[in-house]
A = this chain, B = another copy of it.
Amino acid sequence: MDKVTMGPKTLMYPMPTVLVGASVEGKPNYMAAAWCSIACMAPPMVAVAINKARHTLKGINENKTFSINVPSTRQVVEADYCGITTGARVDKSRVFESFYGKLKTAPMIKECPVNLECKLFNTMDCGSHLLVVGEIVETYVAREAVAGDSPDIKKVDPLIYSDGKYYRVGECLADAFSAGKAYKKSR
């Protein structure tokens, strides 16, 4: 496979679109982020990279709590709006209906099918961005997005972010921890 070098670039496929929730000076604020991932299984943790200049960081520092909200494709306009505006100049507290959980200070978005309520665990200073790691203390899932005992990604219908565009999740291709057995057998 013929490769081209592009210099150091922030490429990852696919990336999610999440809304990071924090209470800044007593008001819910939501910022859009694509650089977010699970960080640990036991205890369950999440990591999100946040530009150090972001308004949202003030709330995370203030309360040591935040939330990760997964919008569905139905919230693409509102999610993108949270990505092109800053809470420093625009009041985003009414873009969504907020609710609070165990931690009391981490606002979460009712309209989003999945919400992770997080307690700040640690941060890593990486340069332009702070990698914010939180312990997930509770998970909230829309009843209609649940199939069996866990959410179904096709019902969550999340937004994929890539290079200035949003995409939907496509068809199921294979079962994990199973597809690879075909390779094993051919050895």
Contact = CB atoms under 8 A, between A and B. Distances in A.
Q: Assembly of this chain: how many copies?
A: 2
B49 A39 contact: yes
A19 to B, nearest CB: 12
Contacts of A159: 173
A79 interface: yes
Nearest to A51: B41
Contact of A14 (B1, B150, B158, B181): B158
A134 to B, nearest CB: 10
A136 to B, nearest CB: 4
Interface residues of A, number: 106
A88 interface: no
B140 A5 contact: yes
A106 interface: no
A175 interface: yes
A7 interface: yes
